[in-house]
Amino acid sequence: MWCDVKLLDLILPVRCVICGAGGEQLCPACRSALPRLAPPLCARCGAPTAWPVQRCRECAGRRLAFASARAAVAYDPAVRQLVRAWKERGLRTLAAVAADAVADTLPAPGVAALAFVPSDRARGLERGHHPAERLARELGRRWSLPVHALLGRTGPASRQRGLTLADRRRNVGGAFAPAGESPSGVALVDDVYTSGSTANAAASALRKSGARRVEVITFARVVR
C-alpha cells in the first residue's frame, strides 16, 4: 500500500494536499490561509488565551519538563490534511513548507542545538522517513543551529490515536531515553503538539541527559 501511494505520487499531476488545486503540493492560497498562532498565548504551553498568562487552564497544575512550547499554526482540519500528507505519503516538500511557516512565525530559539522527537521505530520504517527529524533539519538550516539525535525510544509505545487524554499521558511516560549528552539549552522539535504528553516525556529525557532548559517547537498545535 505504501509503495502504491508513493508510485501514484510520481505519476499523478501535483495537487495541493488541502484544496486539490493543480501545480504545487500546497498552493499559495492555502499557504497564506494557514491558521497562524499569535499572542496572547500561555507563556508555558503556548495555548492561545484571552490575555497573556504564565499558566493556562490546559497546563495549570501539570508538572512540565519543558520551559515553553510554541507552534506556528493551529491544528485545524486543513492543517490536519497537510500533516497527514506529509507524514503518511512522505511528501518531502511539505517539511520545507512547515519549516518556512515555523521560521516565519517564531523567533529562533536561544539554544545551542535542536533535538527531535524520534519516530516510533516500527512506524518509522513503515513510512520510511521521520517527519520530526526532517522538520528539525530544515529548521537547523534556517536558524543556523546544529541538529543532534539526542533521544531514543525505550519501547514500542502503543499508538496515541484514539486514546483519552489521561491514557495518552500514561502511554508515553518513560517512552524516551537519552541517546547522547544534551547541551544546557536545547529546542525539541516535533510535528504536532497534541496533549503535551509526548513533548513532556521527551523533554524529561533531555533533562536527564544534561539539558537545563528545553524549549518545545512544533509546526502545529491542537487548540481546545
* Binding residues vs Zn ion (CB under 5 A): 16, 18-19, 21, 27, 30, 42, 44-45, 47, 56, 58-59
Q: Which residue has the cell 513503515?
A: 126
Residue with Cβ nearer Zn ion (27 or 175): 27
Q: How far apart are CA 22 and CA 25, in angstroms?
A: 8
Q: Quick check: 215 and 111 in contact, CB under 8 A?
A: yes
Smallest distance, Zn ion to C-beta of residue 52, A: 11
Residue with Cβ nearer Zn ion (9 or 58): 58
Q: How far apart are CA 194 and CA 217, in angstroms?
A: 12
Residue with Cβ nearer Zn ion (15 or 137): 15
The one-letter amino acid code at 194 reads T
Smallest distance, Zn ion to C-beta of residue 14, A: 11
Smallest distance, Zn ion to C-beta of residue 177, A: 27
Residue with Cβ nearer Zn ion (44 or 221): 44
Smallest distance, Zn ion to C-beta of residue 69, A: 8
